[in-house]
């Protein structure tokens, strides 16, 4: 008998037992957030820790979906239309995501979805973002290896620098490298890298690709493998994942406290406090004390 469509316990048990048809329904529960998603999280958390995650981000139009399609044919957050050639591949699962009202948005939903895929037995998960906003940077930065895709002649290096992508990148891919400006883009990236220190004994690689033709895709996989080997040496991968777990916990606490604050105070009262701080009629610390006191009560 098929598990009930919204029962988080039944769906989780079905997925852990290998029921592929239950996986999309379980991910819908996780993305929706709330108590059912938390129940799923409790049940799968101890069953994971095996999948390796690769985040793929970069400016719109850089060719992220085409590159992801060439790499494995499957991604979270990816352009599903471009990956339909792999829809019948039993080894690939494609899932497009939006916030779907999830508390904390994608930054909270994606790690939970990755854990479900991990517990379901997928050894490699690609997370492709739509753009380079703060949410996308947070999502990409939650991966074991973060790939930043840029294109020549589009000012992408400046945009990536402003968005903070240069700080989270483990690998740069210059896609559409057959276009003019590829040499200049690589030179700019190397100059930026020369100004930074790399405490993890890894300096981000730069790989050129023409994803539409498949050129350079093998080199991208080789660079990901090299970065993984570097992280696994000396326990760096475990330390990186532990740091991410700490960050995720802090984010969850912060988001849930904010939600409880809105429940404890009326909307009008909450907005009044925000307005008073903005108008400098009260200071942020006093307003925060009032909000926290309401939560305690």
Q: Across residues 47-75, what is the average pLDDT?
A: 84
Q: How far apart are CA 50 and CA 59, in angstroms?
A: 30
What does the block give as tokens for 67?
A: 């590159």
| pLDDT at residue 74, rounded to an integer | 42
Pick the residue with more confidence: 41 or 89? 41
Taking every pair of Cα atoms in the chain, the longest distance, rounded to a whole number of angstroms, is: 63
Among left, alpha and beta (phi > 0; psi -120 to 50; other), residue 31 is alpha
Q: How far apart are CA 109 and CA 97, in angstroms?
A: 9
Half-sphere exposure of 141 (CA within 13 A, CB side): 20
CB-CB contact of 289 with 265 (8 Å): no
| pLDDT at residue 215, rounded to an integer | 93
pLDDT at 81 over 60: no
Q: How far apart are CA 79 and CA 141, in angstroms?
A: 20
Domains, the chain: 48-234 (3.40.50.300), 247-296 (no CATH)
Residue-averaged pLDDT of the chain:
83
pLDDT at 239 over 60: yes
**pLDDT tens-digit readout, 250-281:** 888 888 888 888 888 887 888 899 999 999 99
Angle at 282 between CA 279 and CA 283, to 5 degrees: 105
| pLDDT at residue 128, rounded to an integer | 85
Lowest-pLDDT range of 80-94, 149-163, 188-202, 226-240: 80-94
Pick the residue with more confidence: 78 or 140? 140
């Amino acid at each position: 008998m098929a598990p009930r469509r919204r029962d988080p316990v039944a769906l989780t048990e079905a997925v852990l037992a290998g029921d592929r048809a239950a996986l999309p329904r379980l991910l819908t529960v996780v993305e929706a957030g709330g108590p059912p998603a938390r129940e799923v999280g409790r049940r799968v958390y101890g069953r994971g820790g095996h999948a390796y995650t690769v985040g793929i981000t970069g400016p719109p139009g850089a060719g992220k979906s085409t590159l992801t399609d060439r790499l494995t044919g499957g991604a979270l957050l990816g352009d599903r239309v471009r990956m339909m050639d792999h829809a019948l591949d039993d080894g690939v699962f494609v899932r497009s995501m939006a916030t779907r009202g999830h508390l904390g948005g994608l930054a909270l939903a994606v790690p939970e979805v990755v854990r479900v895929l991990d517990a379901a037995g997928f050894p490699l998960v690609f997370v492709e973002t739509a753009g380079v906003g703060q949410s996308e940077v947070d999502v990409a930065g939650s991966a074991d290896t973060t790939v930043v895709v840029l294109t020549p002649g589009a000012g992408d290096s400046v945009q990536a620098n402003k968005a903070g992508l240069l700080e989270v990148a483990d690998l740069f891919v210059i896609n559409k490298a057959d276009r003019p400006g590829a040499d200049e883009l690589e030179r700019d990236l190397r100059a930026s890298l020369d100004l930074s220190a790399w405490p993890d004994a890894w300096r981000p690689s730069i790989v050129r690709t023409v994803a539409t033709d498949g050129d350079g895709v093998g080199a991208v996989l080789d660079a990901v493998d090299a970065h993984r080997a570097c992280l696994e040496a000396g326990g760096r991968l475990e330390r990186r994942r532990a740091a991410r777990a700490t960050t995720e916990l802090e984010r969850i606490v912060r988001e849930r406290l904010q939600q409880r604050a809105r429940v404890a105070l009326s909307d009008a009262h909450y907005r009044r406090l925000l307005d008073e701080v903005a108008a400098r009629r009260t200071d942020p610390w006093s307003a925060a004390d009032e909000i926290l006191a309401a939560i305690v009560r």
